[in-house]
């Protein structure tokens, strides 16, 4: 890659981030409307789901579920239908927003050394009986949360009551009969920052408090399963304004330095507050972006727009920073509490076709016809369509939870 391309990538990365990492107030009304969905039923229903993990469902010893390939599967995928999930926000409903192809929904991730168990939403909700599962992170992580909600709600019998509540910066999906909840908590840097308001935030103005996590962590304390992710908000520039210690002393930090300090702050909380016998922690590695088509198709000058098929053969985009990946590995490796890594980066790298592209929104509004006609400036190659790639992240999470459940 030439120096010029490097510089250009940096600028484009910034533009892309500014345009898509902004939430609109429009969403609030929608969610409040949805909140009451399903709350009119009072019929009591009790399902005892037999949880039996057959041999096919077990992950074979030594199988790295993150190494594999995408295979076409029109019969079993998607795992739910876009229009069957009332809990999806506009940002992810690509077909409804006008995407002409739906191939991106028909891919199954097949690890080289084993098969993933088929996702069974009833088994998952049984595993979550009397529990809280919480996703923590930015809007990409919110996509993983929504995917999980859709996967589960698709499996529930019609008369099982479900609800989605919005208590910013949280979203809470509840299945009362199981006393189970699947939650989302907005914290784009995991640690505290001035971007922690659920809607009033912008990547243009970032200030992170590298040594502070208490405001957030007190909300995480009671959760049984916590799934963390944080990446793209850090990457807007090579440096970031931050404090460490005194709030009056704001300094520009190299992002890699800042990321390490932030993750260590989080890690200290994990080691001092998590009970590994009753709580499980996961960390999701960076979700890749597909902002520059010359990376997979040399000589072209586009982005993820118009892409309909996964990349074949080996591929790792420059947007997925290896220094950051190394820091994650290092910090997690030194924890006393075991944190499971959901290393979804490589498998998602192949999916240049899975992004919302021009069939999503910007600042809380769907793109206009004119904006859609200008994919160079308006395609979102960071977020994912649903059903889609985040479903696979959840299938893997499910497989690991099932494995643990079976082990007792």
Ligand X SMILES: *[C@@H]1O[C@H](CO)[C@@H](O)[C@H](O)[C@H]1NC(C)=O
Q: Which of 340, 346, 371, 403 binds ligand X (CB under 6 A)?
A: 346
The answer to the question of residue 132 lying near ligand X (CB under 6 A) is yes
* Tokens (6 digits) for 215: 């405001």
**What is the sign of the dihedral through the CA atoms of 152, 158, 163 and 164?**
positive
Our CB check for ligand X shows the closer of 179 and 377 to be 179
What is the total count of residues that contact ligand X (CB under 6 A)?
Answer: 28
The answer to the question of residue 130 lying near ligand X (CB under 6 A) is yes
Displacement of CA 154 from its chain's centroid (Å): 19
| Of 120, 138, 139, 293, catalytic | 139
What are the Cα distances from residue 102, in Å, to 96, 401, 402?
11, 30, 30
| Of 138, 353, 380, 391, catalytic | 380
Pairing of the two strands 280-284 and 361-362: unpaired
Query: Is 380 designated active site?
Result: yes
The answer to whether 278 touches 224, Cβ cutoff 8 Å, is yes
Question: Please, what is the minimum distance in Å from the beta carbon of residue 83 to ligand X?
Answer: 19
Cα gap 234→179, rounded to integer Å: 36
Question: Please, what is the minimum distance in Å from the beta carbon of residue 119 to ligand X?
Answer: 20
Question: Please, what is the minimum distance in Å from the beta carbon of residue 323 to ligand X?
Answer: 5
The answer to the question of residue 329 lying near ligand X (CB under 6 A) is yes
CA dihedral 134, 284, 75, 350 (to 10 degrees): 150
Our CB check for ligand X shows the closer of 84 and 179 to be 179
The answer to the question of residue 318 lying near ligand X (CB under 6 A) is no
The contacts of residue 31 (CB under 8 Å, 6+ apart) are 89, 164, 166, 171
The answer to the question of residue 131 lying near ligand X (CB under 6 A) is yes
Determine the angle formed by the axes of helices 389-407 and 139-155, rounding to 10 degrees.
Answer: 70
Would you call 258 helix, strand, or coil by DSSP?
helix
The answer to the question of residue 18 lying near ligand X (CB under 6 A) is no
Q: Taking phi first (over 0 means left), then psi (-120 to 50 degrees means alpha), and beta for anything else, what does residue 303 get?
A: beta
The answer to the question of residue 323 lying near ligand X (CB under 6 A) is yes
* Helices assigned H by DSSP within 136-282: 139-155, 214-220, 255-273
Piece of the chain touching ligand X by CB under 6 A; list 3-11, 31-39, 209-217, 252-260 = 252-260
The answer to the question of residue 251 lying near ligand X (CB under 6 A) is no
Our CB check for ligand X shows the closer of 41 and 129 to be 129
Rg of the chain in Å (alpha carbons):
20
DSSP code per residue over 310-359: ---S----TTS-HHHHHHHHHHHHT-SS-EEEE--HHHHHT-TT-EEETS
Q: Which of 172, 194, 198, 335 binds ligand X (CB under 6 A)?
A: 194
Our CB check for ligand X shows the closer of 5 and 321 to be 321
Query: Is 54 designated active site?
Result: no
Q: Which of 5, 19, 163, 239 binds ligand X (CB under 6 A)?
A: 239
The contacts of residue 408 (CB under 8 Å, 6+ apart) are none
Residues 278-307, interacting with ligand X (CB under 6 A): 285, 302, 306
Query: Is 201 designated active site?
Result: no
Site string for ligand X, 53-92 (x = CB under 6 A): -------------------x-x------------------
Question: Please, what is the minimum distance in Å from the beta carbon of residue 306 to ligand X?
Answer: 4
The answer to the question of residue 238 lying near ligand X (CB under 6 A) is yes
Our CB check for ligand X shows the closer of 70 and 88 to be 70
DSSP code per residue over 287-306: PP----GGGTSTT----STT
Kind and range of the H or E element at 366?
strand 365-366
The answer to the question of residue 241 lying near ligand X (CB under 6 A) is yes
Piece of the chain touching ligand X by CB under 6 A; list 30-38, 79-87, 113-121, 325-333 = 325-333
Our CB check for ligand X shows the closer of 76 and 254 to be 254
The answer to the question of residue 200 lying near ligand X (CB under 6 A) is yes
Judge residue 107's burial from the number of C-beta atoms within 10 Å of its C-beta, 0-12 exposed, 13-18 middle, 19 or more buried. Answer: buried
Question: Please, what is the minimum distance in Å from the beta carbon of residue 382 to ligand X?
Answer: 19
Pairing of the two strands 339-342 and 365-366: unpaired
The answer to the question of residue 341 lying near ligand X (CB under 6 A) is yes
Would you call 267 helix, strand, or coil by DSSP?
helix
Q: Show which residues are catalytic.
A: 139, 380, 383
Could you list the residues that contact ligand X (CB under 6 A)? 72, 74, 130-132, 179, 194, 200, 237-241, 252, 254, 256, 285, 302, 306, 323, 325, 328-329, 341, 343, 345-346, 375
């Amino acid at each position: 890659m030439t120096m010029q391309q490097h510089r250009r990538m940096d600028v484009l990365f910034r533009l892309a981030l500014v345009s898509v990492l902004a939430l609109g107030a429009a969403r609030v009304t929608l969610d409040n409307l949805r909140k009451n969905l399903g709350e009119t039923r009072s019929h009591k229903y009790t399902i005892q789901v037999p949880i039996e993990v057959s041999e096919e469902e077990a992950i074979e010893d030594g199988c790295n579920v993150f190494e594999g390939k995408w295979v076409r599967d029109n019969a079993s995928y998607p795992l739910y239908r876009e229009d069957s999930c009332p809990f999806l926000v506009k940002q992810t409903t690509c077909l409804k927003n006008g995407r002409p192809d739906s191939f991106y929904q028909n891919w199954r991730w097949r690890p080289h050394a084993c098969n993933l168990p088929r996702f069974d939403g009833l088994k998952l909700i049984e595993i979550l009986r009397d529990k809280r599962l919480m996703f923590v992170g930015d809007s990409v992580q919110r996509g993983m949360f929504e995917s999980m909600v859709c996967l589960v709600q698709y499996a529930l019998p019609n008369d099982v009551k479900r609800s989605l509540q919005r208590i910013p910066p949280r979203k809470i999906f509840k299945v009362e009969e199981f006393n189970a909840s699947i939650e989302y908590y907005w914290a784009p840097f995991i640690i505290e920052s001035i971007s922690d308001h659920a809607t009033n935030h912008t990547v243009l103005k970032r200030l992170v408090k590298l040594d502070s996590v208490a405001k957030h962590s007190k909300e995480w304390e009671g959760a049984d399963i916590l799934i963390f992710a944080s990446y793209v908000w850090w990457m807007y520039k090579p440096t970031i304004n931050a404090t460490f210690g005194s709030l009056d002393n704001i300094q520009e930090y190299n992002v890699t330095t800042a990321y390490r300090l932030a993750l260590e702050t989080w890690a200290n909380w994990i080691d001092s507050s998590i009970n590994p016998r009753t709580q499980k922690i996961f960390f999701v590695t960076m979700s890749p972006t597909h902002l520059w088509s010359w990376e997979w198709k040399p000589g072209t000058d586009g982005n993820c727009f118009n892409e309909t098929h996964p990349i074949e053969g080996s591929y790792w985009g420059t947007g997925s920073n290896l220094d950051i990946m190394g820091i994650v590995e290092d910090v997690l490796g030194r924890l006393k509490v075991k944190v499971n890594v959901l290393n979804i980066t490589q498998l998602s790298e192949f999916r240049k076709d899975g992004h919302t592209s021009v069939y999503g929104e910007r600042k809380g509004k769907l793109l206009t016809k004119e904006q859609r006609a200008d994919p160079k400036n308006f395609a979102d190659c960071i977020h994912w369509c649903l059903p889609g790639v985040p479903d696979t992240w959840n299938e893997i999470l499910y497989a690991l939870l099932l494995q643990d459940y079976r082990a007792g």
